[in-house]
Structure 1
Amino acid sequence: YKLLSQLGVRNLSSANQKINEAFHKGQPLMNPLSLTPDTPEPLEPMPFIVVVIDELADLMMVVGKKVEELIARIAQKARAAGIHLILATQRPSVDVITGLIKANIPPVSPFRSPVG
């Protein structure tokens, strides 16, 4: 988030576009958050991140409310930072996919896998 702010953009796609444009102009952007400020390294396009949580129901049974809050927090901040969440469960009931999770994650496309 700090780098996005330093670049004056609101999301990862805009940051990557800005980095690529500067590179193609022959004036690469230097890392404003470099650990070596005297000789900062040029910025490179940043990858998107995919977080996969398999069997959410088991996680909710074991950890409960805390994991629900953490998933909601990641979901709130994720889009701008280029983080994509994939939540999987065999039991999509209200005690697994709670109102808090539903409110912070866009609609889900369910897929069934063959049994056996």
Structure 2
Amino acid sequence: MEKAEGAFLTISELSAELDVPQHILRYWETRFPALRPLQRAGNRRYYRPDDVQLARRIHHLLSVEGFTVKGAQKALSEGEGRTPPPPPNDVAPETLLSQLEMVRAMLARALGV
């Protein structure tokens, strides 16, 4: 049975979702101060939705983008590598298309294409 969106996750649930061992999540807690799950009796960890989102972001930076822990710390503190929020649903397709074309042009200039 899957939990509702926004429900707290245990360390084992988050570990399974990210496919990383539990000790890695505990290590991340020592290296990323913003990652602070609730701890109940017996040191049981419960990750709030914000903690889950941050853990997903850390995992993405380390495993997908290839950052080192120090690089991921810097990227998170400087706001780099964060996924931009999705556009509101009421944005006209023409506006979205023009924004995407602008981004493509900036990327082309940056790559020298």
TM bucket (normalised to shorter chain) is under 0.3
Q: TM-score, normalised by structure 1?
A: 0.21
Q: Which has the higher contact order (CA 8 A, sep 6+)?
A: 1
Please state which structure has a larger fraction of its residues in helix: 2
Q: TM-score, normalised by structure 2?
A: 0.21
